[in-house]
């Protein structure tokens, strides 16, 4: 072998994608196309008797097996994943115990990742017989008739298409026997990618200008001046244009028809070409370009440090902790600017686009035509287009939810994770169960990119990283007074007195403002005073005042866990497990309370164990109830609801948001969704209907999550010179979470929470792996969980995992999902990953490493 030949790879390690088989296999590269192979390419390879898709992960010197098959063909010359992404996939697979193939598949757009299938068709002899009107079988069975009729009617079909046409029929056996008798044929196939670029037909000038001029007068027969004018106009236009012109434009502009076009083509003056076009979902959005303001001194200080990261190539992520309205987004925008100036690209992650339209719009205004937006309402085609543009570096920025981390940018320079504490960055529903925050940190470090994690309420684990110095902690402690210009206009136009004496000097360049004051209202006292409404007297008053001033209010309802716990309406006492301190969950059908952490159970008490009151019950208030109670109180009020029900429709989030911000409603009533990103000048009152409901979920992060959502919601008020206030209704006013949220005291919350985590052995002090088994039969779910837990206990002992403990097995909090019973085991310890990696329970189990939610 000559030295030169050695540079060309001989073998490829490929992640193949076959249903239920996601494995890595070695192949050899056929001589003819060996030079064309690249890392990350999508190729077709033989697998058993089928042809399947795979992604090239590496070019090993020697294959891992003695006999290799040849790669069949390259499906797409441009790699579908970058080398950096392959490393990211490997990292995710190792850290989350997910199969590498599944992880890679999550990186390429749906539809591009078609899987192998078998195609069925009538055999040529059968086709002849049918043409002659003859029967294929003397006495066909019903299942044979069904399948044959389908193939006669629809022609060749893939297995998955037949599955859809004949649901719940075991047709494959029938197909097998028909194939053996030569009546039908089967063949493995690889379906074409279901998403393809969209093409547009355009007309291009190809002739020689002189000859074209010469023909100008004779483009139509004599006596047809209109046709002549159309053809002359078209010809002139395409001659002037360097580029081809869409046929639709020509039809539109000159009223031309296909005959006109054909004439030009026949005379050798033009040709039709197909040009790929982009489906741009944001094309209709009106964006006003904006320039960057000067940074405030606090922003300047933060920026200085981030700049160092850009210059020196920092490997540590920045944790940007700043209250809502403190100017974090402005820092992100600066960082993006810096990235683009360096010729690199940026990924900006936001919890959910529909909930953060203002953030997205700001990126688009600052960087017109450079932003690609990914969100849940895009069609696969639109998604594919954005992905393609990013892959070629034709976009500078992608803004999107957690999946945006998989954008295949050629030269990644920045990853921003906004509201980095948000649970939506974790993929809990399907495998791979990755956390986009952890992925961002790894991917940025591995790509030499800067990583900025921003939050008003960092989760305790993140804040702890900042404290220990593994991350660089940056603070923006003060709120910037926004909307001064727009509100000033309003002040001049109307005659209400908003009481803004603090901010008289509106011409000053920049003002800082206080966070809104928070009033804690004890709902037990309301009940004692005879007020049974869901609104305290104070909230009633404030709502009326706000409306009288022609301003707006938000009413927030924490739906999380509101229906499942039992608490006393007189003293606020919530029933907790005597062993675990977590709330007991009501299982109303069994009249029982259960601890889902340790399995403790007791009956539902008739009276409060603490104060003896009979008014102990479980709770559940919906937005609809709040709305009708509000209308009873203030008959003229114009309301909008923002919850799961009102946002099912496409575009609903934007609509609600637009209506409320243009003041077509006075009060917005909503759940968790409205905690994010809203920045509205006229909102001067935020009412939290019941602050403590989320506190009682049996999850070690229940307190943290409640603190976060309360802080976020409170942050919606008082963002303009009009000021604002928050009313927080609770049955548990002394709880440290309520106290800390009311005082905007993150530090206090953090200290208390950290202490509790240390005492009870939770993250950041220990790591958790959650293992879940599902089964239609509750007994067998319980049994499987028991068997594995017993084995785990043995390994913990024999392999010296000293500080590692099991919690459970117990039924999961939502003990039954889609007809299947869920049992779970939590493994807590300094390094449970090492234990489970060696003793994985198998593909039947759901394994989650450090999940943010353990319900
Ligand atoms: P956050 O992302 O922390 O909520 P923003 O970046 O949205 O904060 O800033 C809050 C408000 O202050 C916004 O209306 C923004 O336009 C404005 N703002 C931020 N930075 C500046 C600045 N340096 N000069 C003037 N206004 C600013
Ligand atoms: Zn317990
Ligand atoms: Zn009580």
pLDDT single digits (tens) 357-368: 677 888 988 998
Report pLDDT for 559. Answer: 64
Q: How confident is the model at residue 445 (pLDDT cuts 50, 70, 90)?
A: very high
Q: Give me ligand 2 centre to Cα 805, in Å.
A: 15
Query: How much of the chain exceeds pLDDT 70, in percent?
Result: 86
Q: How far is the CA of 383 from the centre of ligand 2 (A)?
A: 45
Q: Is the pLDDT of residue 397 over 90?
A: yes
* Residue 204: pLDDT over 50: yes
- pLDDT of 160 > 90? The answer is no
User: Does the pLDDT value for residue 507 go beyond 50?
Assistant: no
From first CA to last CA, the distance across the chain in angstroms is: 60
| Per-residue confidence (pLDDT) for residue 369, from 0 to 100 | 79
CB 345 within 8 A of CB 644: no
- Judged against a pLDDT cut of 50, whether residue 98 lies above it is answered with yes
What confidence tier does 64 reach under pLDDT thresholds 50, 70, 90?
confident
Max CA separation in the chain (angstroms): 104
Q: Between 581 and 79, whose confidence is greater?
A: 79
Taking residues 407-426, what's their average pLDDT? Answer: 94
What is the H or E stretch that residue 669 is in? strand 667-670
Ligand 1 near 510 CB (within 6 A): yes
Q: What is the pLDDT, as a whole number, of residue 378?
A: 76
DSSP state of 279: -
Atom of ligand 1 nearest to the CA of 479: 10
Quick one: pLDDT band at residue 493, thresholds 50, 70, 90? very low
Q: Which residue has the tokens 């976060």?
A: 708
* Res 590: pLDDT: 65
DSSP, res 588: G
- Residue burial 6-21, b: 16+ Cβ < 10 Å; e: rest: eeebbbbbbbbbbeee
**Best-predicted range by mean pLDDT (154-158, 662-666, 671-675):** 662-666
Tokens of 807: 């919690």
Closest ligand (CA of 582): 2
Residues 130 and 116: their CA atoms lie apart, in Å, by: 30
Report how far residue 128's alpha carbon sits from residue 121's, in angstroms, rounded to the nearest whole number. 13
Residue scoring higher pLDDT (422 or 855): 422
pLDDT in tens, 126-151: 888 888 888 888 888 888 989 999 99
227-264 pLDDT, tens digit each: 999 999 999 988 887 778 888 888 878 888 888 999 99
- Number of neighbours of residue 306 by Cβ within 10 angstroms: 22
Q: Is the pLDDT of residue 474 over 70?
A: yes
The pLDDT of residue 621 is 61
Residue 19 Cβ contacting ligand 1 at under 6 Å: no
Say yes or no to pLDDT of 393 above 70: yes
Q: What is the predicted pLDDT for the residue at 197?
A: 62
Instruction: Name the residue of 331, 419, 482, 483 to mutate for ligand 1: max ligand atoms within 8 A of Cβ.
Output: 482
How many angstroms is it from 590 CA to the middle of ligand 2?
A: 18
Strand, helix or coil at 421?
Answer: coil
User: What pLDDT sits at residue 505?
Assistant: 38
DSSP 8-state secondary structure symbol assigned to residue 223: T
pLDDT at 179 over 50: yes
Q: How far is CA 219 from the centre of its chain?
A: 56
Find the mean pLDDT for residues 175-196. Answer: 75
Q: Which ligand is nearest to the CA of 296?
A: 1
For 584-629, write each residue's pLDDT tens digit: 777 655 677 877 666 788 888 888 888 888 877 655 566 777 888 8
**Per-residue model confidence (pLDDT) at position 492:** 44
What's the pLDDT score for residue 716? 74
How, if at all, do strands 371-373 and 592-594 pair? unpaired
pLDDT reading at 846 higher than 80: yes
Q: What is the mean pLDDT of residues 198-215?
A: 84
- CA–CA separation, 48 vs 68, rounded Å? 12
List the one residue out of 813, 814, 843, 840 whose CA is nearest residue 827. 840
Instruction: Give the dihedral of Cα atoms 363, 366, 372, 377; nearest 10 deg.
Output: 50
Query: Is residue 281 predicted with pLDDT exceeding 70?
Result: no
pLDDT for 324 equals 79
What is residue 356's predicted lDDT score, i.e. its pLDDT? Answer: 67
Alpha carbon 515 to chain centroid, angstroms: 30
How close is the Cα of 715 to the center of ligand 1, in Å?
14
Q: Is the confidence at residue 490, as pLDDT, over 70?
A: no
The rounded distance, in Å, linking the Cα atoms of 146 and 166 is 8
- Average pLDDT, stretch 481-494? 48
- Going by pLDDT thresholds of 50, 70 and 90, the confidence category of residue 19 is low
Pocket mutation for ligand 1, best pick of 329, 483, 512 (most atoms within 8 Å of C-beta): 329
Closest approach atom of ligand 1 to CA 476: 3
Of 162-176, 489-503, 505-519, the range with the highest mean pLDDT is 162-176
- From CA 436, how far away is CA 497, in angstroms rounded? 47
Q: What was the pLDDT predicted at 353?
A: 67
Characterize the bridge pairing of strands 683-688 and 725-730: parallel
User: Given this model, what pLDDT does residue 561 score?
Assistant: 47
Q: Which of 500, 423, 518, 482 is nearest to 713 (CA)?
A: 518
**CA distance readout (Å), 370 to 160, 348, 385, 393:** 39, 13, 14, 10
Q: Ligand 1 in contact with 408 (CB < 6 A)?
A: no
Tokens of 326: 């403190």
Asked if 122 and 187 count as a contact pair (C-beta separation under 8 A), the reply is no
Residue 27: pLDDT band with limits 50, 70, 90 = very high
Residue range 570-588, pLDDT digits in tens: 777 778 777 766 677 776 5
pLDDT in tens, 293-346: 889 889 999 999 999 999 987 779 999 999 878 899 999 999 999 999 999 999
Residue with tokens 């069904």: 146
> Considering only 189-203, 463-477, 646-660, 777-791, which range has the smallest mean pLDDT?
189-203
- Mean residue pLDDT of the chain comes to 83
Report pLDDT digits (tens) over 763-775.
899 999 999 999 8
pLDDT > 70? residue 117 = no
Q: Specify the ligand 1 atom closest to the Cα of 456.
A: 3
Report how far ligand 1's centroid is from the alpha carbon of 291 (Å): 13
pLDDT of residue 155: 86
More confident residue, 76 or 470: 470
Which ligand ends up closest to the CA of 571?
3
Residue 156 pLDDT: 86
pLDDT of 483 reads 53
324 in contact with ligand 1, CB cutoff 6 A: yes
- Determine whether the shortest distance from the Cβ of 206 to ligand 1 is under 6 A: no
């Amino acid at each position: 072998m000559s030295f030169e030949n050695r540079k060309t790879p001989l073998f490829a390690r490929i992640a193949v994608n076959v249903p239920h088989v996601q494995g890595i296999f070695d192949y050899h590269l056929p001589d003819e196309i060996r030079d064309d192979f690249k890392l990350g390419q999508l190729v077709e390879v033989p697998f058993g008797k089928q042809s399947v898709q795979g992604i090239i992960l590496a070019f090993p010197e020697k294959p891992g097996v003695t006999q290799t098959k040849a790669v069949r063909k390259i499906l797409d010359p441009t790699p579908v994943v970058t080398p950096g992404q392959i490393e990211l996939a490997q990292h995710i697979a190792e850290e989350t115990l997910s199969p590498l193939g599944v992880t890679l598949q999550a990186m390429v757009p749906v539809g591009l990742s078609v899987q192998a299938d078998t195609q069925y068709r009538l055999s040529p002899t059968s086709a002849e017989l049918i043409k002659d009107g003859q029967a294929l079988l003397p006495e066909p069975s019903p299942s044979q008739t069904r399948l044959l009729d389908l193939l006669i009617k629809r022609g060749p079909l893939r297995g998955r298409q037949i599955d859809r046409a004949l649901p719940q029929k075991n047709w494959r056996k029938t197909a097998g026997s028909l194939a053996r008798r030569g009546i039908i044929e089967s063949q493995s196939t690889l379906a074409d990618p279901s998403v393809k670029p969209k093409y547009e037909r355009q007309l291009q000038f190809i002739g020689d200008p002189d000859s074209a001029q010469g023909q100008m007068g004779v483009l139509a027969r004599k006596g047809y001046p209109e046709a002549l004018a159309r053809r002359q106009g078209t010809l002139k236009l395409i001659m002037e244009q360097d580029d081809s012109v869409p046929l639709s434009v020509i039809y539109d502009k000159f009223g031309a028809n296909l005959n006109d076009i054909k004439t030009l083509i026949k005379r050798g003056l033009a040709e039709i070409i197909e040009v790929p076009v982009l489906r741009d979902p944001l094309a209709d959005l009106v964006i006003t370009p904006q320039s960057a303001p000067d940074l405030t001194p606090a922003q300047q200080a933060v920026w200085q440090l981030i700049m160092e990261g850009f210059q020196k190539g920092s490997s540590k992520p920045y944790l940007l902790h700043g209250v809502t309205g403190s100017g974090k987004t402005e820092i992100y925008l600066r960082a993006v600017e810096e990235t683009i100036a360096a010729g690199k690209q940026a990924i900006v992650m936001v919890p959910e686009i529909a909930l953060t339209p203002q953030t997205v719009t700001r990126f688009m205004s600052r960087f017109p035509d450079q932003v690609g937006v990914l969100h849940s309402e895009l069609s696969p085609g639109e998604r594919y287009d954005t992905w393609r543009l990013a892959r070629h570096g034709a976009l500078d920025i992608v803004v999107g939810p957690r999946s945006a981390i998989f954008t295949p940018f050629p030269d990644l320079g920045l990853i921003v994770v906004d509201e980095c504490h948000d649970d939506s960055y974790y993929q809990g529903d399907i495998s791979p169960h990755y956390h986009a925050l952890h992925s961002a940190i790894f991917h940025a470090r591995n790509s030499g990119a800067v990583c900025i994690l921003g939050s008003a309420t960092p989760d305790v684990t993140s804040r702890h990283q900042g404290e220990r110095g593994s991350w660089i902690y940056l603070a923006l402690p003060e709120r910037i007074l926004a909307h001064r210009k727009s509100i000033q206009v309003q002040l001049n136009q109307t005659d209400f007195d908003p009481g803004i004496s603090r901010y008289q000097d509106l011409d000053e360049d920049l003002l800082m403002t206080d966070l809104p004051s928070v009033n804690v209202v004890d709902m037990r006292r309301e009940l004692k005073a005879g007020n049974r409404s869901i609104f305290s007297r104070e909230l009633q008053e404030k709502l009326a005042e706000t409306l009288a001033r022609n301003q707006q209010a938000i009413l927030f309802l924490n739906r999380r866990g509101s229906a499942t716990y039992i608490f006393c309406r007189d003293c606020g006492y919530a029933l907790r497990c005597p062993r675990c301190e977590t709330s007991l969950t009501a299982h109303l059908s069994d009249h029982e309370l259960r601890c889902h952490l340790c399995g403790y159970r007791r009956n539902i008490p008739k009276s409060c164990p603490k104060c003896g009151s009979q008014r102990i019950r479980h709770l559940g208030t919906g937005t609809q109830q709040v709305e009708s109670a509000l209308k009873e109180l203030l008959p003229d009020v114009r309301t909008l609801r923002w919850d799961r029900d009102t946002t099912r429709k496409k575009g609903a989030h934007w609509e609600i948001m637009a209506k409320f911000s243009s003041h077509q409603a006075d009060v917005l009533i909503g759940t968790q969704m409205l905690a994010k990103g809203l920045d509205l000048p006229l909102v001067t009152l935020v009412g939290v209907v019941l602050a403590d409901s989320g506190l009682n979920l049996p999850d070690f992060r229940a307190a943290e999550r409640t603190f976060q959502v309360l802080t976020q919601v409170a942050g919606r008020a008082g963002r303009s010179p009009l000021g604002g206030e928050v009313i927080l209704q609770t049955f548990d006013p002394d709880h440290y979470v309520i106290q800390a949220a009311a005082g905007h005291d993150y530090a206090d919350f953090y200290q208390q929470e950290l202490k509790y985590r240390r005492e009870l052995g939770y993250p950041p002090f220990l790591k958790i792996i959650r293992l879940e088994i599902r089964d239609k039969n509750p007994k067998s779910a319980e049994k499987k969980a028991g068997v594995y837990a017993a084995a785990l206990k043995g390994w913990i002992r024999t392999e010296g995992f000293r500080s590692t403990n099991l919690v459970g097995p117990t039924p999961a909090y939502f003990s039954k999902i889609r007809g299947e019973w869920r049992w779970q085991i939590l493994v807590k310890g300094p390094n449970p990953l090492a234990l489970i990696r060696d003793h994985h329970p198998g593909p039947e189990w759901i394994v989650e490493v450090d999940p943010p939610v353990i319900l």
